[in-house]
Amino acid sequence: MIDLQSILQDIYTEATKTQDKGVVASYIPELANVDINKFGVHLRTCEGTEYGIGDYNEKFSIQSISKVLALTKAISFKGNEVWARVDVEPSGNPFNFLSLLELENGIPRNPLINAGALVISDILISHFENPKEDFINFIRALTLDDSINYNEQVAHSEKITGYRNYAAANLLKSFNNLHNEVEDVLDFYFHQCSIEMNCSQLSKAFYLFANKGKCLQNKTHITESQTKRINALMLTCGFYDEAGEFAFTVGLPGKSGVGGGIVALLPNKFIITTWSPGLNKKGNSKLGMLALEQFTTKTELSIF
């Protein structure tokens, strides 16, 4: 029997000793105010046992982690039709890279980079009756927690500095791969990125990916096969141009965000979430990557 609490404690103690904690994202000005010393780890098993260390109950900006939840909803609405508008290949490039989009005729490489997520936002606003309200309610239902919300300051901060996302959305529109107005798609996208959650709420929200598409309320949101595909996308595309490194050192499907969060999971076993706002050069949480690498090494729990 593995003593998960003491393994997590050891990893936490070790990781907090790290001198170089990376750099807090500042291209979205509102994110730059976060304390670099925050660090939380939370694990939830599929049986429902929870382990938490450090700042695991403190909310942070989930940023790109939201892309997986948005994709899930788009797949539940449109099934395989989604893949006509966005591909499933790793990009090997930063999350906001634009040149490939032009070269590949407005079909984003995958739904977990910004351009792909904008297409997913477009699909969602076409299908939801009240897009922002319906999306936050979906996340509240996954977590059984009505306290989860958008952070309007963060959404606004990103809008007024979102030049590259505006460029991507305009390029998509020029290729007829956005059906709604650029402003409406970006407004939804900036809001979904601004959602604030803590590690334990994220572990709950991602339970459906470890549980064949069924959430904590035992409701089926996506099929087993769709769940398998979303996990495959997290593994191959969840960390931008560091997806290979994450598979190599950690070996779990997962998703990062520039708020410093990472969620990773082992199907049928557990979901683990880390938060440390200092990022490495590729935009992934420095201590989070380190802690998860230690976790799968010490427990030998990975998909490989």
State the minimum distance, in angstroms, from the CB of residue 94 to ligand GLN.
Answer: 9
187 binds ligand GLN (CB under 6 A): no
> How many residues of this chain bind ligand GLN (CB under 6 A)?
11
Is 150 catalytic? The answer is: no
158 binds ligand GLN (CB under 6 A): yes
State the minimum distance, in angstroms, from the CB of residue 284 to ligand GLN.
Answer: 8
Distance CA(220)–CA(99), nearest Å, equals 38
The one catalytic residue among 34, 185, 258, 263: 258
**Residue selected from 169, 233, 258, 271 as contacting ligand GLN according to rule CB under 6 A:** 258
257 binds ligand GLN (CB under 6 A): yes
* Segment 5 to 44, residues that bind ligand GLN, using CB under 6 A: none
The radius of gyration computed from the CA coordinates of the chain, to the nearest angstrom, equals 18
The answer to whether 221 and 232 are in contact (CB under 8 A) is no
**Residue selected from 45, 63, 226, 294 as contacting ligand GLN according to rule CB under 6 A:** 63
Q: In terms of CB distance, is 63 or 211 closer to ligand GLN? A: 63
3-state helix, strand, coil in the chain (%, to 5): 50, 10, 35
Give CA separation, 59 vs 3, 32, 38, 83, 197, in Å. 27, 15, 11, 33, 5
The one catalytic residue among 240, 255, 263, 285: 240
Instruction: Give the other-Cβ count within 10 Å of 214's Cβ.
Output: 16
Closest CB to ligand GLN belongs to which residue?
Answer: 64
State the minimum distance, in angstroms, from the CB of residue 44 to ligand GLN.
Answer: 22
Could you tell me which of 216, 242, 230, 279 has the C-alpha nearest to residue 61? 279
- Measured between its terminal Cα atoms, the distance across the chain in Å is 20
**Residue selected from 12, 39, 95, 209 as contacting ligand GLN according to rule CB under 6 A:** 95
State the minimum distance, in angstroms, from the CB of residue 142 to ligand GLN.
Answer: 19
261 binds ligand GLN (CB under 6 A): no
Is 240 catalytic? The answer is: yes
The answer to whether 108 and 83 are in contact (CB under 8 A) is no
Is 189 catalytic? The answer is: yes
Is 207 catalytic? The answer is: no
255 membership: H or E segment, kind and range: strand 254-256
The answer to whether 37 and 44 are in contact (CB under 8 A) is no
Could you tell me which of 283, 217, 270 has the C-alpha nearest to residue 49? 270
Q: In terms of CB distance, is 8 or 237 closer to ligand GLN? A: 237
Is 269 catalytic? The answer is: no
Q: How many helices and strands, by DSSP H and E, does the chain display?
A: 13, 9
**What is the set of active-site residues?**
64, 67, 189, 240, 258
Contact residues toward ligand GLN (CB under 6 A) are 63-64, 95-96, 114, 158, 165, 193, 257-258, 283
